[in-house]
Structure 1
Amino acid sequence: MIKNYIKIAWRNLLKNKQQTIINLLGLTLGTVSCLVILLYVFAQLGYDQHHNEAASIYRVETIIERDGQESFDSATSSPPIAFALKDDFAEVEEATRVVLTDVFYSPLIRAANSEDAYYEPRVYLADSTFFKVFNFKILEGDVKTALDEPNAVVLSSYISNKLFGNSSPLDKTVVWGSGDDALTLTVKGVYHEKAYKTHFNPSYIVSMSTPGMGTFVQNFQSFATNNFVYSYVKLRPNSSDVGLQKKMPQFMEDRGAQDLRDAGMSNKTLELTKVTDIHLYSNGRKNQLDRVSNSTYLYFLLSLAFFIQLVACINFINLSTARASKRAREIGVRKVVGAGKNALMRQFLGESLLLSIFAMLLSIPIVILLLPLVNDITQESLSYINLYQWHIVVILLAIGVVTGLASGIYPAIVLSSIKPVKALKSSAILQSGSGTFRKALVVFQFVISICLISTVIIIGQQFKYAQTKDLGYKKDNLLALRVGTEESSKKFESLKASFLKVPGVLQVSSGNYSPSEIILADNGFYLPGGNKENKTVVKRNGVSDGYFNTMGIELLKGRDFSAADTVDQIIVNEATLKAFNIDIENALSATLMQSYGDEIDELRIIGVVKNYHFASLKEEIQPLFLHKETEPNWVVIKTKTDNYGQLLQGLEQQWKSAVNNIPFDYRFVDKEVEKLYEEEKRLGFISVGFTILAIFISCLGLFGLISYVAEQKKKEIGVRKVLGASVQSVVKLLTKDFIKLVLIAFVLASPIAYYFISRWLEGFTYRIEIKWWVFLASGVLVMVITFLTVGLQSLKSAAANPVKSLRSE
């Protein structure tokens, strides 16, 4: 019986070639879209799943309130908190801490027997318990004890190969840092950095007990300040994170109440985030170790996959029901000879399942061919091996079966319900109700298309806005050169003089942070005579004189730094004046106070600069003060040249002549600013691609429908033409119903699109306004596409010789 069903289904598919090709192409493209999106989504879901008892590992994060308002929401916490939690609560089995050294300095590393030194990002200091909490694929050494001793380091396989080639690095030494601050470290292990997906991704890990920042962290005792440490706890089996979370307020009261008062913090809250949730569900929390994803984007992509597949299913339903009259006699005969309704339903469902499964099989090689393009857009490393993960296989099979059933169930019900007497008598056409349902489905397709086009336009506008918005400084033609070492930092003035001699260099200045680099340093301030226990956090950056001119930052009041200025003289932005309610006219006579314990410092404002974006546009401009810095971390160079190759070559020559054996490490500021919006850029590319795909699938369905309508009305068209109807009037006859459906869809889609787009834009502090013309343009575009799809086929039918269509009468 099943064999017979498959034979009949196959014959019917071959018999109606145009309908089969349209349905197969639509379902295949829909399945390809689903599969690509699922591969990407599962890649994002797979972070930090490999650790033993990953569900029991949590990061301790911090929210600080001042004046009852949240002022600091960070993935970090104070140094002593992690191990204090282990000491105070039986639920905590183990604790460990991580410090990202990039925040404070970018030390060079080289093999002890080599002069070739390298800057490597993502260098961590970690406690000896790090590998007891987290699991990495170990290639060499015993990592359980690797970080027990001071001056120990565990290298990634990439850094190991870079420093030592193919030879084993175990127990060999590396030089970390430069000049008087250089340390000799002993290699105690090597791990594979690409074996698992993790939010860590370290280049190498140095023992926390190593002198310097590590010993500072180990000895620091305040539970309030220096929230730059990434703290992790591993809970014992059957322990509740919810129960531990409830104990956090009392923990902070017992351990840090006095520290909070000394630091001027009204409240500090600790929150636990499961390590497996960090990558996907901590977007918006500041100071992440690595780029995190946005779960909202993933839900959007999954919705996109669903709607594209749904559009393909709608095509199948529309074409199958529209062509029901073609199969009316077949259905009538089969019913007369004894076929029941259930048997007919199984037959029609079998056809849709056969087509759906065939589309599923076709989608696999297509996805494999597309993977290089997908990886280029998403910055992932997906391969064909990902297709064989059990959950991908199960979901793909489910997509094939569900799509087949969803596409075929309604046509099966409709076709199997045709009365045999009417079918045999007059090639029964479906009742008018089915036509109404088909129109509703077409409207739904148009609604999806208009919503997607509107979304793509808004995403593009927001991304362009982020790229072109006045940031308060001129990012174009701006170079940032990493100073990196204490030796080169002390040579800044001589470097400045030599750089100014290079053709194409206009101005040279410096800062502790590169433009667009996240500023983590801050101070707590209060006004003279104010409550020193109620401070306002102000971000801090050290700069040299000429910085504002080089950056193109407008000085609103006062003056720039001079050679005679000290760190007690500061320049603030407008946000700082607003935070302290200082009028700009009185700013130059104002001072800010900072204190810790009994020590009090007074800082005098000598200038006010216009607000400028030193972080992403997703964040509001925060209070910032700038002080004089003579030993900076970055050189900022304003340029004007048509030959950047020659300019960079000249700068590198001057650099090497002044500080030999230190890499010439530069970046273009405008490119770094673009990186802040990589996720939005990727989302834009993906949205455009899949929107075009959804519209194309919809057009396939429209083409099939208008072909059928034209065929059904070919005798009517012939009669009209014989009676003098023009081609234009015939085209109007065939297209007017579809144009009406677009107008209905436009009315329905506009408020839906507006709601969801508004919700997405809420994630940006600085965002575009949604213009009414976006929805009108989307509707007009869908109208044009519909008219071209339907109109061309209508024109072909209208131009046909009426004699051919009337000859059989």
Structure 2
Amino acid sequence: MFKNQLKIAWRSLKKNPLQTGINILSLTVGTICCLIIISYVNAQFGYDTHHNDVASVYRIRTKIKSISNNSINADVATSSPPIAFALKEDFPEVVDACRVVYFGSGEEALIRNPKNNQSYYESKGYVADSTFFKFFNYTAAEGNLATALEKPNSIVLSKKLASKLFKNENQIINKTLVIGAGENQFNATVTGVFNEPTTPTHLNPNYILCMNSPGIGEYTNNISNFATQNFAYSYIKLGANVSKTSLEKKLPKFLLDRGGIDLADMGFDKKLLLQSVTDIHLHSKGIDKQIEEVSNIEYLYALLFLAFIVQLVACVNFINLSTARASKRAKEIGVRKAIGAQKSSLVQQFLSESILIAFLAVFISIPIVLLLLPVANVLTGGNIEPEHILNLKILLLLGSMGLLTGLIAGIYPALVLSSFKPSKVLKGATELQSSNGLLRRGLVVFQFVVSIVLTVSVIIVSQQLKFAKQKDLGFNKDNLLAIRLGTQELQQNFSAIKSQLQGVSGVSSVTGSNNYPSRSIMGDLAMRLPSQDDNNLTSVFYNGITPNYLETIGTKMIKGRKLRETDSTGILVNMATLNAFNIDIENALAATIVSSYGSETENYEIVGVTENFHFEDFKQAISPMLMYSETEPDWIVAKLETNNLKSVLSGLEANWKKVNPYAPFEYVFVDKETEKLYAEEQKLSKISIAFTILAILISCLGLFGLVSYVAEQKKKEIGIRKVLGASVKSVVQLLTKDFLKLVLVAFVIASPIAYYFMQNWLQDFTYKIEIKWWVFLLAGGFAMLITIVTVGFQSIKSAIANPVKSLRTE
């Protein structure tokens, strides 16, 4: 029975090649979208699921709020270093603890192999407790990872880094590496090598130093304050059947007992929260200081919804074309019913046709998606691999999707077609109800609503992205080069390096700073006015600069003088700082602000005020920031005055090597780094454009199929009109006017929908565009143009056809 239905379905599809081709093409496009997005979303949901006992592992998160106004000042993924192991001491529910110190991918450490004296700046370096590999699963390439971080000065390397540092050496366990340079350098012993994780995780180290090491490890272990220094990523593991909620309820008292005095000294309060490790990647919206870039569950749901809409638009094409061509199959149905076919068997027959088309679309989409993976990864910012698609879970999901798509697309046409009465259709009456035409018009309107909403979204997202790119950043990013001074030895040698680089042809200015423009500033101070107490503290970011920094980056002074090397307590502040402390610009140079840390205070005199400039993304308002005189900066910033960058870079590297023969010459272009401030908007813009094009393509396919059928249905009417003298223009108007009316209805429906969603999206931005009325007219006009082109092509073809051919059978 099923085999017979498939044969009949296949023959029916072959009889109507245009309709079949349009349905398969539109469903294939929809399926490609769904498959790419499902694979991407599935990978995003798979973060950190491979660790042992991961359901009982939580990261300690911190909310800091002001006592004076009870407002949240910070919500971070980190906590004070002593908290994790104090929880283990105080609560039997906590069976183990681990801390990870990591300051960001931009914080490279100098690592040298003393055997060949080759050195590299390496990022993604962690300092972790010996329990790290008990919490997180990494497979060992060499050594025993379970004990690899127990001994002081031990280091564990990723396999990739190990190959880089030791080339083709087979056995590297117990080999020595030199970490850092100058007074702060120390030797570390390689105690393990791990393979790079194949399952996505929020922890992707290149190397891990044990916490019992000099430098940041020793510093972390010596911190006893429970209020400040919230830089440690702290993890705890709960015992069996321990409720996260019940432990969280005990944390306020724990923090008060352990750190009440510390918090009182600082003038703020803290709240500790537990976040499941498997929730970190998708449920960290609004939580700052993440180790890796996190996703957003709402963003993934939006992608899935868009994929569903595109697939639904493709299903609408199937429904429209099937019901429109019902009259062509009326006699076939009448004959079937006359010889005893039941309605249920007819429904099965028509559903088998739609399901067959859906599975053909699925089958065709798989190799196309595999070919489009590089493009898909650029659009989504993901890392979809062929194995993410060619696995049992996704293939079963695809099969289910094909079945569901076939049912959704085919159920209504099947019910309509199977309801014909044989006594009427065999006499020539198709018995199509007016509601069928109304449904078709409604579905066409739905397609245009989707197209117009997506078009408006593309325009607004593109406008916001353009606004971000063209917005005055407060500095001139063009031809700015930032060169890393990655060790204390290089920082102390800043003046000599600066002098050497200034002599390079094509370099107009050289300066130094601890953070180059657009680089996120992590350090902040709790500050107040001298007349205020510690209950009125304001967070102010700080950056060390050399005297000619502002001239080099192009930031304007508004009032006062520049910094001098002799300034010890003199500072520059931005306008946001004056606003935060309600200091009038006219009185700014007489003002003092106080850094407060427990019983210790430090007075800073404002000697100059600069304009605001961005060092965070555009969703954040520009924060208060001060700049102080620095003689040993972390970065050299050079202003170039030539387009021959290759020659200038060669000259800079050659002069660098004269002063620093063993230090790597590593640099970044500030304009490229600035693009990261609006990277999310760039990704959204690309995805929006892709979805809009696909949705419009599918809608055009459906329109083309519908107008082809209408033209064929009205072939004789058109022939008679032409014989009676009708012009080509009047015939084209006859075929297009109804579709243009539907576009107008869609425009009226889509405009408020698009406005609502895009206005909500823009609310996340502090600096944003205003939605203009012409955006909607442009989107509606574009939909109208697409309709005229799509419908007009077939209309003109029908209008210029020879009427004799269409009337010869009369």
Q: Deviations over 1:82-112 (max 9, x none)?
A: 1111112222121111111558953200222
Q: Is residue 691 from structure 1 mapped to residue 692 from structure 2 by the alignment?
A: yes
2:575 aligned partner? 574
Amino acid of the structure 1 residue aligned with 2:12: N
CA shift at 1:72, angstroms?
A: 1.4
- Structure 1 stretch displaced more, 290-299 or 13-22: 290-299
Q: Structure 1 CA distance, aligned partners of 2:431 and 2:724? A: 27
CA shift at 1:639, angstroms?
A: 1.4
Q: Structure 2 CA distance, aligned partners of 1:258 and 1:378? A: 48
CA shift at 1:376, angstroms?
A: 3.7
Q: Deviations over 1:477-515 (max 9, x none)?
A: 111111111111112122222222112211111111122
What are the equivalent positions in structure 2 for 1:432-443 lying under 5 Å apart? 432-443=434-445
CA shift at 1:634, angstroms?
A: 0.5
Note closer, same or farther for the CA distance 1:359–1:521 as it changes in structure 2 (3 Å cut).
Answer: same
Q: Structure 2 CA distance, aligned partners of 1:699 and 1:19? A: 13
Match of 1:230 among 233, 253, 276: 233
Q: Structure 2 CA distance, aligned partners of 1:689 and 1:277? A: 29
Q: Is residue 393 from structure 1 mapped to residue 401 from structure 2 by the alignment?
A: no
Q: Structure 1 CA distance, aligned partners of 2:390 and 2:236? A: 34
Q: Deviations over 1:603-631 (max 9, x none)?
A: 11111111111111121111111111000
Amino acid of the structure 2 residue aligned with 1:231: S
Match of 1:426, SS? coil
TM-score, normalised with respect to structure 1: 0.98
1:652 aligned partner? 653
Match of 1:343, SS? helix
Match of 2:483 among 481, 484, 495: 481
Q: Structure 2 CA distance, aligned partners of 1:33 and 1:480? A: 40
2:526 aligned partner? 524
1:39 aligned partner? 39
2:30 aligned partner? 30
Amino acid of the structure 2 residue aligned with 1:36: I
Is the CA contact (8 Å cut-off) linking 1:208 and 1:214 kept in structure 2? yes
1:196 aligned partner? 199
2:180 aligned partner? 177
Amino acid of the structure 2 residue aligned with 1:23: N
Q: Structure 2 CA distance, aligned partners of 1:677 and 1:6? A: 52
Q: Is residue 250 from structure 1 mapped to residue 253 from structure 2 by the alignment?
A: yes
Amino acid of the structure 2 residue aligned with 1:177: G
- Structure 1 stretch displaced more, 372-381 or 307-316: 372-381
CA shift at 1:678, angstroms?
A: 2.5
Amino acid of the structure 1 residue aligned with 2:607: I
- Structure 1 stretch displaced more, 289-298 or 348-357: 289-298
Match of 2:281, SS? helix
Match of 1:425, SS? coil
Is the CA contact (8 Å cut-off) linking 1:107 and 1:178 kept in structure 2? no
CA shift at 1:65, angstroms?
A: 1.1
What are the equivalent positions in structure 2 for 1:451-462 lying under 5 Å apart? 451-462=453-464
1:723 aligned partner? 724
Q: Deviations over 1:286-345 (max 9, x none)?
A: 111111122232222111110111011000000000000000100111111111111111
Amino acid of the structure 2 residue aligned with 1:331: I
Match of 2:280, SS? helix
Is the CA contact (8 Å cut-off) linking 1:478 and 1:668 kept in structure 2? yes
Is the CA contact (8 Å cut-off) linking 1:103 and 1:520 kept in structure 2? no
Amino acid of the structure 1 residue aligned with 2:42: F
Q: Structure 2 CA distance, aligned partners of 1:39 and 1:104? A: 30
Is the CA contact (8 Å cut-off) linking 1:27 and 1:359 kept in structure 2? yes
CA shift at 1:752, angstroms?
A: 0.8
Is the CA contact (8 Å cut-off) linking 1:156 and 1:190 kept in structure 2? yes
Aligned residue pairs, count: 807
Match of 2:9, SS? helix
1:52 aligned partner? 52
CA shift at 1:667, angstroms?
A: 0.5
Match of 1:406 among 405, 408, 423: 408
1:805 aligned partner? 806
- Structure 1 stretch displaced more, 104-113 or 329-338: 104-113
2:747 aligned partner? 746
Q: Deviations over 1:102-135 (max 9, x none)?
A: 5895320022212111111111100111111111
What are the equivalent positions in structure 2 for 1:346-365 lying under 5 Å apart? 346-365=348-367
Q: Structure 1 CA distance, aligned partners of 2:86 and 2:668? A: 41
Q: Structure 1 CA distance, aligned partners of 2:210 and 2:25? A: 57
2:190 aligned partner? 187
1:619 aligned partner? 620
Is the CA contact (8 Å cut-off) linking 1:261 and 1:533 kept in structure 2? no
Amino acid of the structure 1 residue aligned with 2:387: I
CA shift at 1:597, angstroms?
A: 3.5
Match of 1:383 among 358, 374, 385: 385
Amino acid of the structure 2 residue aligned with 1:44: Q
CA shift at 1:178, angstroms?
A: 0.8
Is the CA contact (8 Å cut-off) linking 2:618 and 2:678 kept in structure 1? no
Is the CA contact (8 Å cut-off) linking 1:264 and 1:524 kept in structure 2? no
Q: Is residue 496 from structure 1 mapped to residue 490 from structure 2 by the alignment?
A: no
2:590 aligned partner? 589
CA shift at 1:579, angstroms?
A: 1.4
Q: Structure 1 CA distance, aligned partners of 2:671 and 2:286? A: 23
Note closer, same or farther for the CA distance 1:104–1:601 as it changes in structure 2 (3 Å cut).
Answer: farther
What are the equivalent positions in structure 2 for 1:636-647 lying under 5 Å apart? 636-647=637-648
2:111 aligned partner? 109
- Structure 1 stretch displaced more, 330-339 or 291-300: 291-300
Amino acid of the structure 2 residue aligned with 1:205: I
Q: Structure 1 CA distance, aligned partners of 2:211 and 2:501? A: 38
Q: Structure 1 CA distance, aligned partners of 2:130 and 2:525? A: 31
Is the CA contact (8 Å cut-off) linking 1:156 and 1:193 kept in structure 2? yes
Amino acid of the structure 2 residue aligned with 1:53: D
Q: Structure 2 CA distance, aligned partners of 1:552 and 1:607? A: 16
Match of 2:427, SS? helix
Is the CA contact (8 Å cut-off) linking 1:550 and 1:637 kept in structure 2? yes
Amino acid of the structure 1 residue aligned with 2:392: W
Q: Structure 1 CA distance, aligned partners of 2:317 and 2:189? A: 66
Amino acid of the structure 2 residue aligned with 1:450: I
Is the CA contact (8 Å cut-off) linking 1:331 and 1:415 kept in structure 2? yes
Q: Structure 2 CA distance, aligned partners of 1:798 and 1:498? A: 78
Is the CA contact (8 Å cut-off) linking 1:297 and 1:683 kept in structure 2? no
CA shift at 1:141, angstroms?
A: 1.1
Identity of aligned residues (%): 55
Match of 1:61, SS? strand
CA shift at 1:372, angstroms?
A: 2.5
Q: Structure 2 CA distance, aligned partners of 1:284 and 1:517? A: 19
TM-score, normalised with respect to structure 2: 0.98
Q: Structure 2 CA distance, aligned partners of 1:621 and 1:671? A: 20
2:566 aligned partner? 564
Unmatched 5+ stretches in structure 1: none
Is the CA contact (8 Å cut-off) linking 2:475 and 2:517 kept in structure 1? no
Amino acid of the structure 2 residue aligned with 1:782: A
Match of 1:259, SS? helix
Is the CA contact (8 Å cut-off) linking 1:101 and 1:125 kept in structure 2? no
- Structure 1 stretch displaced more, 53-62 or 723-732: 53-62
Q: Structure 1 CA distance, aligned partners of 2:28 and 2:431? A: 30
Amino acid of the structure 2 residue aligned with 1:4: N
Match of 2:282, SS? helix
- Structure 1 stretch displaced more, 136-145 or 8-17: 136-145
CA shift at 1:671, angstroms?
A: 0.3
What are the equivalent positions in structure 2 for 1:17-416 lying under 5 Å apart? 17-66=17-66, 67-102=69-104, 106-166=108-168, 167-265=170-268, 267-416=269-418
Match of 1:170, SS? coil
Match of 1:117, SS? strand
Match of 1:706, SS? helix
Q: Structure 1 CA distance, aligned partners of 2:677 and 2:273? A: 26
Q: Deviations over 1:185-206 (max 9, x none)?
A: 0001111124221111111000
CA shift at 1:399, angstroms?
A: 0.7
CA shift at 1:748, angstroms?
A: 0.3
Q: Deviations over 1:148-176 (max 9, x none)?
A: 11100000011100011232211111010
- Structure 1 stretch displaced more, 695-704 or 191-200: 191-200
Match of 1:202, SS? coil
Unmatched 5+ stretches in structure 2: none
